[in-house]
Structure 1
Amino acid sequence: MTGTADTSERIAKFLARAGVASRREVERMIEGGRVKVDGKTLDTPAFKVTGTEMIEVDGKRVEPPAATKLWRYHKPDGLVTTHADPEGRETVFDAIPKDIGRVISIGRLDLTSEGLLLLTNDGALARALELPSTGWTRRYRARAFGSISESALKILRAGVTVEGIKYGPMEVEVERETGSNIWLEIGIREGKNREVRKALDAVGLRVNRLIRIAYGPFQLGQLEKGEIKSVPSRVLHDQCGHLIEMGETPTGQAIAKPRAPSRPPRKPGQKPGQRPAGRAMGGPGQPGRPKREIDDSLLEPTQKGRPLDAKSTRARRDKDGKPTAKPAPRPSGPKGSAPKGSRNDGPRGGSGRPGGPRKPGGRS
């Protein structure tokens, strides 16, 4: 009897992939009675769906998850990173174009912060990229009132505790000082709430402008304020493919690099450890490095299709640079004698290079 593959998944994961919210937020929605499946209000996040059901959140039908997408957005200051602000302030999701569909942010930028904000339609990916175990560094440029000493820099680089909250080591570099302000470039890996502001405040600096310039491999670049640009699918797969395919929280383990191409099988008659003919012409034979092709015009008709090594190719040229069928025979003679035409008695082998007896004491 052949079994059928189970294509169902938990409702929280399904809604996260559909871009409704992160799994944790979906679980809270279910607890609040906001999620229905085929007209029945759910009371547990363990419920499984296949996507063929009619799934509703707050009375609105949720479409099946689309292909995972990622956007870079230059958030201006003055916008709140939330879907609904109780104070009625304008949000990031009010400002972005409606035609990109429902998206969620990867992390947040507070009201007065600006710069790079990543948006995605995949809640599971958003959750994975927010975790410190992903290992991505968030980079900022901070302008702060005051000056900073070397001892304060060491404190920030070692990690600081503020009001009982421990912030991890920061990468801090002084960019420049302008009057009573100082510009710093800062890198953090955790991204706790208002982390940069609180850490700098602990060493006597009051941040008055904060710009995020990078989130992992993704850069703010030349994006204008309020501009949004889709990340190409190839780049998304290269940088986040392992997280998209996992669909789960990353473990923090290193990502395995692709294996190098395996060595080609030995040709008939080739001994173990012996280099294949022509390898010297192709460079050191590093994996993935293309070999140089030998021009057939340099070979005799009887030799075409047979690879030659570099030494024999050089030997099969006469003094005018034309190929010869065989290399010129070496002069023979008794040991210790130097026949006429050797390197100690004039031009070397007819090549036109000047020669002569060596001077006593070695090379000239």
Structure 2
Amino acid sequence: MRSSGRNSGSGNRNPRGAGGGQRGGKQKSSGRPRPEERRYDVGESSGRTGGGSGKPAGGGSRGAAARGGAKGGPKRPEGAKAGDARRGGRPQGPSRPRELDAKIEERNRARHSKPQIKLPKTFGEPEGERLQKVLARAGMGSRRACEELIDQRRVEVNGEVVTEQGLRVDPEQDEVKVDGLTVATQSYLFFALNKPAGVVSTMEDPDGRQCLGDYVTNRETRLFHVGRLDTETEGIILLTNHGELAHRLTHPRYGVRKTYLAAIQGPIPRDLGKQLKNGVRLEDGYARADHFKVVENTGKNYLVEVSLHEGRKHIVRRMLAEAGFPVDKLVRTSFGPIPLGDQKSGWLRRLTNTEVGMLMREVDL
């Protein structure tokens, strides 16, 4: 009996001894959990444990419990993901409509945008440009030279002599004159071309013939010719972008005189000039010359000068032919106050400010 008692006692001790000796085994203790195994999370998962270890079902540890839902810490709302707490502690809610964002942005801009302050003219940009700057740009000299013109009282603005420096003018509206001649203060261009024979008096030709536009192809500003010359007639023709000046120079009301040299065959009567001045009857009415004289005579070859203010087609050729003297060659030597001079055939030159002023005075501009 003793031996059986000892055997039974030893059998009771062996499980404890075996459990204590198998610390490295896989068996888990059924007693109270160690501190590192205690559950710190509270909430829905408090009742879910894995086995008898006391750990959360998801295999959470102290660090995971502290991050997610330790007692006293922030609680995740129902339906929130675990990653929401890591990103900022607050779940992502539904985004606002774009219309609402646009209204908020518009309201903020209206709140912070300041109205534009309208300053009086004394504090704003002064109107117009300084007179000496306008004169210098028009080619009357340097600014210093233009100031001297003002000091010498040679400059007029809208009919009044300028006596002080610093006057501002509007180049588009005000009329500026120097020594009584109008200055082209705007961005106008004025050219004189010695048109060769065979050139068509148009800026473009659909048939591909040589025309006036071939001489100004490098100009950005569109130019147009003042009047016309016959294809076989040579001489001066004006090109400009000043529409009003071109209109007045060709209008019969202003009577701008044009002068021609014509080569004819003689002999001619002494009263030929008188006949032309009295008027020659043509199919479209009478045509009268303002001036006539014989420039050169070599045998039967005559070179005569004819001046008139009309601009009808082939007017000089028709007048002389009606008088009995067909024209062999015709050259226009002057247009109003602008002479051809020694300008070579086919050459283009820019008119000087003095010449532009003379043209404008000719037509009351």
Which of the pair has more CA radius of gyration?
2
Q: Give the TM-score taking structure 2 as reference length.
A: 0.46
Q: Which has the higher helix share?
A: 2
